[in-house]
Amino acid sequence: SAKQVRVALTRKLPAPVEARLSDLFDAVLHSADAPLSPAALIERARDADVLAPTLGDRLDAAFFEAAGERLRLVANFGAGIDHIDVAAANARGITVTNTPSVLAEDAADMAMALILAVPRRLVEGVRALETGQFHGWSPTWMLGRRVRGKKLGIIGLGRVGEAIARRAKAFGLSIHYHNRTPINPHIEEELGATYWDSLDQMLARVDIVSVNCPHTPATFHLLSRRRLELLQPQAYVVNVSRGEIVDEDALAEMIEGGRLAGAGLDVYERGAPSEKLLKAPNVVLLPHMASATVESRIEMGERMIINIKMFADGHKPPDRVILGLDDGRLPKA
Residue from the set 80, 125, 144, 182 that interacts with ligand 8YV by CB under 6 A: 80
Residue 175: Cβ-neighbour burial (10 angstroms; 0-12, 13-18, 19+)? buried
Q: Which is nearer to ligand 8YV, 9 or 48 (CB)?
A: 9
78 binds ligand 8YV (CB under 6 A): yes
Cβ 99 to ligand 8YV, closest distance in Å?
A: 7
Stretch that binds ligand 8YV, among 15-23, 76-84, 125-133, 257-265 (CB under 6 A): 76-84
Contact 18, 27 (CB under 8 A): yes
- Residue from 54, 101, 174, 293 binding ligand 8YV (CB under 6 A): 54
The SS3 assignment for 129 reads helix
Compare residues 35 and 182 and give the one whose CB is closer to ligand 8YV.
35
By C-beta, is 168 or 300 nearer to ligand 8YV? 300
**Does residue 232 contact residue 204 with C-beta atoms inside 8 Å?**
yes
288 CA to centre of own chain: 8
Nearer to ligand 8YV, 196 or 268 (CB): 268
Which residue's beta carbon is nearest to the bound ligand 8YV?
78
| In the complex, least distance from residue 297 CB atom to ligand 8YV, rounded to whole angstroms | 8
Interacting residue with ligand 8YV among 79, 94, 208, 308 (CB under 6 A): 79
- How far CA 251 is from CA of 62, 236, 255, 277, 281, in Å, comes to 33, 10, 6, 8, 12
Secondary structure element (H or E) that encloses residue 309, with its range:
helix 294-312
* Paired strand residues for 50: 7, 73
55 is a site residue for ligand 8YV (CB under 6 A): yes
Cα 255 from Cα 238, distance rounded (Å) = 13
Tell whether residue 9 is a contact of ligand 8YV (CB under 6 A).
Answer: no
* DSSP collapsed to 3 states, 71-106: CCEEECECCCCCCECHHHHHHCCCEEECCCCCCHHH
The distance of closest approach from Cβ of residue 321 to ligand 8YV in the complex, given in angstroms and rounded to an integer, is 12
The residue from 210, 212, 282, 291 that contacts ligand 8YV (CB under 6 A) is 291
103 near ligand 8YV, rule: CB under 6 A:
yes
Q: Is 265 in the site for ligand 8YV (CB under 6 A)?
A: no
How far apart CA 98 and CA 194 sit, in angstroms, is 30
- The answer to whether residues 175 and 192 touch, using CB atoms and an 8 Å cutoff, is yes
Which stretches of the chain bind ligand 8YV, using CB under 6 A? 54-55, 77-80, 103, 288, 291
